[in-house]
Structure 1
Amino acid sequence: MRPSDETRLTLWVLLASATLTVMAGAILGPVVPSIQSNLSVSESLAGLIITTHGALIVLASPVAGAIIDRIGPRRPYVFGLLLYGVGGGAGLFIDSFIPLLLSRAVLGVGVAFVYTGLTVLIYSIYAGQRMDRALGLRSSANSVGAVVWPLLGGALGALTWQAPFGVYLLAVPLGVLAVLTVPEPARPGRDDDSDDGSAVLAVFRRRPAVLSVYLLYFGTNALLYSIVVFYPQLLNGLGVTSSVGISLYLSANGLAGGLSAAGYDRLVARTSRRRLVGTAFLLWTVGFTSAAVATSALLALPGVLAFGLGQGLVFPSAFSWIEALAPPDKQGQLSSYLASAGYTGQFLSPVLFGPVVPAFGIRGVFGAAAVVTLVSALALGVALFGRR
């Protein structure tokens, strides 16, 4: 059955929203030094402008999920877009640190509602292979956003450090467009009268595989940020020292992820989510190993390409698993914990991999990552063999 034009337009609005969740921090990366100098703050305080919204996403996502389960995903999703535009766009007019930090907190709450709202909307509007395609395209849009938004932020930052904040205002007309194009899905009936907390715990007891999906998403994001944080240092030792050169490697990671995620629905139709995730682990093992032993800038490229290809398989698989495992009236909360797990993984990545550097050098980070992914691949292989 061919999707209607209305459903296609809805999907494009949802995909545009997905890129905004990536843009929240990525677009300001190139102007952090300018923020530091113009606001007269330390490097670490300037970095909080990038990370504060992530902490609020972790905290606010479960609240967003509970609200979505009670009133449906459409209104919280639109509310999140408008809050995103207000919180992010406020940076255009703020010229002191504390108010700017507070606006970033507002932005984080908006992202939490957008992230979880669009996830449940995809679950509700699409089904079967069309849902797999929507989830794959969502991950692909995230990857493309990770390439495009930093480049745009750098270009606008050449005008003034506040100019990139204006891009956040795109969320406001997108919210208006969402009101006109995104339908309100039918509300699932609530299957019990217990409070939400005990009901979710009951789901975890009945379906412990949900916790494995959270661990997978946490680990994938931690590995992703091992590249974001430590790959520039590896490249520096290989002679790639310019910000433009480094950005090309990180962009290659995003493009590779976008390509594999775009074909996710066709791949999963031919095999299974478990096998796709196992393939990703093997790609990561090869990629991280190649990074650990790379002796030239050219030999450092396969590492980011391999990780990106695997990432494009894992992210939509995680969302698809949650849809399959979550009761219909708990999809908001259970998908919100996925968002919290992912952003926690990003935040803790330097903490987890940082201690490796003094002992084994920057290459040791990628050697450790290769060991983690190899062990994960073996564990998944044993699980699949056991089931067979």
Structure 2
Amino acid sequence: MEKPSEARVTLWVILASATLTVMAGAILGPIVPAIQSSLGVSESLAGLIITTHGALIVLVSPVAGALIDRSGPRRPFVGGLLLYAAGGGSGLFVDSFGPLLVSRAVLGVGVAFVYTGITVLIYDLYEGQQMNRALGLRSSANSVGGVAWPLVGGALGTLSWQAPFGVYLIALPLGLLAIVTVPETGRERASDGAETDAGVAGVVAVLRRRPALLSVYVLYFGANAFLYSIVIFYPQLLAGLGITSSLSISFYLAANGVAGGISAAVYDRLVERTSRHALVATALTLWIGAFAGATVAESALTAVPSVVTFGLGLGLVFPSAFAWIEALAPTDRQGQFSSYLASSGYTGQFLSPVLFGPLVPLFGVRGVFGAAAVAAILAALTLGVALRKR
């Protein structure tokens, strides 16, 4: 058993690593135009530098989950951090588009192993309220990373377009520290009889027996799609209000992250007093208000509550989703089923502009948030019906 001081160091390594998963693409947002001009590529090709790692996360996460179930989370987690450093940091030295795209793919593989490794480490190292606290802090760390690392990347981008890639190298000392501080969990993963088949038939069998799992994936997909509707379309809304400075826009997005970090940090205390269902219902109510507020915002000041309110809800949904996977997934396959959460989340991020973008030419950017409000209302009604049936 770890000593309290060792356990704290382990938790801080896990949380520091969690900040890296969300900044994998966001850190380069401010320098996309510089990448485009420096490498002589089109805007769409430059955008692939941001999105390629996400596609690899979706594809590789199930492989990472299966490997974690076989070997435990520690070694895949450490290996993922080292891959993260290699794939992300190589951008410091690459000066052509093809090799840079390959490095982003390597980064995506690393993120897949780190993301799912963090999840299963928390499942294995903590129980009860301690696990809820660790999951809340993990979501809070994601929010902090989403605020802090892009600011660091933007500052380094004033030196050169390659300088921000150096931030990825922070994963190297974290990986070395993880080798020393993160223990082998050693928890026996008891099998659940007929559910031990890890193939497609086995997955379908589990989902039939535990259909609530599918609801969790849909929730996580939707939460990430909503999040990226804010990330992608809120700057357009702000531009219509006369707010065009990238620094000013970053403050609104940072407010979203800070709010999410605050609610996630107190998640364990909230869930102890109520239930995950109640917290998700609260989040959906907050989101309805946030998106409705965005449709009527008419000034810089009235545009603030929507991003804050949305962030508060997000900080309740993310740790709830991870906690439900721990409770619902077969014990010997938590890596596999938590990896599907990562895949559904990044798919939601990727599809968000596809789902909401066509509304802009038809109804304007406010139509995006009106549609999101309607979707949140439908989700809240669905949750209410499901709870009544229970």
Q: TM-score, normalised by structure 2?
A: 0.97
> In 1, Cα distance between the equivalents of 2:83 and 2:275?
38
| Structure 2 residue identity aligned to 1:269 | E
Correspondence for 1:39: 39
Q: What secondary structure, in the 3-state scheme, does the structure 2 residue paired with 1:53 have?
A: helix
Shift of 1:8: 1.1
Q: In the TM superposition, what are the counterparts of 1:127-142 in structure 2 within 5 Å?
A: 127-142=127-142
Q: What secondary structure, in the 3-state scheme, does the structure 1 residue paired with 2:303 have?
A: helix
Correspondence for 1:181: 181
- Does residue 350 of structure 1 match 2:345? no
Q: What secondary structure, in the 3-state scheme, does the structure 2 residue paired with 1:241 have?
A: coil
Answer whether contact 1:66 1:332 (CA < 8 A) is retained.
Answer: yes
Q: In the TM superposition, what are the counterparts of 1:1-388 in structure 2 within 5 Å?
A: 4-186=4-186, 187-192=188-193, 195-197=197-199, 198-387=201-390
| Structure 2 residue identity aligned to 1:71 | S
> In 1, Cα distance between the equivalents of 2:136 and 2:192?
30
- Deviation by residue 1:122-156 (Cα, 9 ceiling, x = unmatched): 00000000000000000000001110011000000
> In 2, Cα distance between the equivalents of 1:216 and 1:207?
15
- Deviation by residue 1:12-41 (Cα, 9 ceiling, x = unmatched): 000001001011111111111110110000
- Deviation by residue 1:138-175 (Cα, 9 ceiling, x = unmatched): 00000011100110000000011101111111111101
| Structure 1 residue identity aligned to 2:36 | Q
Q: What secondary structure, in the 3-state scheme, does the structure 1 residue paired with 2:302 have?
A: helix
- Deviation by residue 1:27-59 (Cα, 9 ceiling, x = unmatched): 111111110110000111001000000000000
CA RMSD of aligned residues (A): 1.2
Q: Which moved more, 1:234-243 or 1:369-378?
A: 369-378
Q: What secondary structure, in the 3-state scheme, does the structure 1 residue paired with 2:175 have?
A: helix
Shift of 1:192: 4.7
| Structure 2 residue identity aligned to 1:91 | G
Q: What secondary structure, in the 3-state scheme, does the structure 2 residue paired with 1:69 have?
A: helix
Cα 1:328–1:252 shift into 2, 3 Å: same
Shift of 1:7: 1.1
Shift of 1:191: 4.4
Q: What secondary structure, in the 3-state scheme, does the structure 2 residue paired with 1:298 have?
A: coil
Shift of 1:60: 0.2
Answer whether contact 1:200 1:330 (CA < 8 A) is retained.
Answer: no
> In 2, Cα distance between the equivalents of 1:51 and 1:192?
39
> In 2, Cα distance between the equivalents of 1:378 and 1:231?
26
- Deviation by residue 1:275-332 (Cα, 9 ceiling, x = unmatched): 0000000000001001001111111111100100000000000000000001111100
Answer whether contact 2:192 2:331 (CA < 8 A) is retained.
Answer: no
Q: What secondary structure, in the 3-state scheme, does the structure 1 residue paired with 2:244 have?
A: coil
Q: What secondary structure, in the 3-state scheme, does the structure 2 residue paired with 1:295 have?
A: coil
> In 2, Cα distance between the equivalents of 1:21 and 1:383?
33
- Deviation by residue 1:65-92 (Cα, 9 ceiling, x = unmatched): 0111111111111000000000000001
Shift of 1:188: 1.5
> In 2, Cα distance between the equivalents of 1:380 and 1:212?
10
> In 1, Cα distance between the equivalents of 2:174 and 2:229?
32
Q: Which moved more, 1:24-33 or 1:259-268?
A: 24-33
| Structure 2 residue identity aligned to 1:176 | L
> In 2, Cα distance between the equivalents of 1:205 and 1:7?
37
Answer whether contact 2:144 2:258 (CA < 8 A) is retained.
Answer: yes
> In 1, Cα distance between the equivalents of 2:76 and 2:3?
25
> In 2, Cα distance between the equivalents of 1:255 and 1:361?
28
Shift of 1:358: 1.5
Answer whether contact 1:135 1:316 (CA < 8 A) is retained.
Answer: yes
Shift of 1:3: 7.7
| Structure 1 residue identity aligned to 2:245 | S
> In 2, Cα distance between the equivalents of 1:3 and 1:340?
35
Answer whether contact 2:191 2:330 (CA < 8 A) is retained.
Answer: no
What is the count of residue pairs matched by the alignment?
Answer: 386
Shift of 1:379: 2.0
Structure 2 unaligned residues grouped into runs of 5+: none
Shift of 1:385: 3.0
> In 2, Cα distance between the equivalents of 1:5 and 1:202?
42
Cα 1:252–1:3 shift into 2, 3 Å: farther
Answer whether contact 2:84 2:168 (CA < 8 A) is retained.
Answer: yes
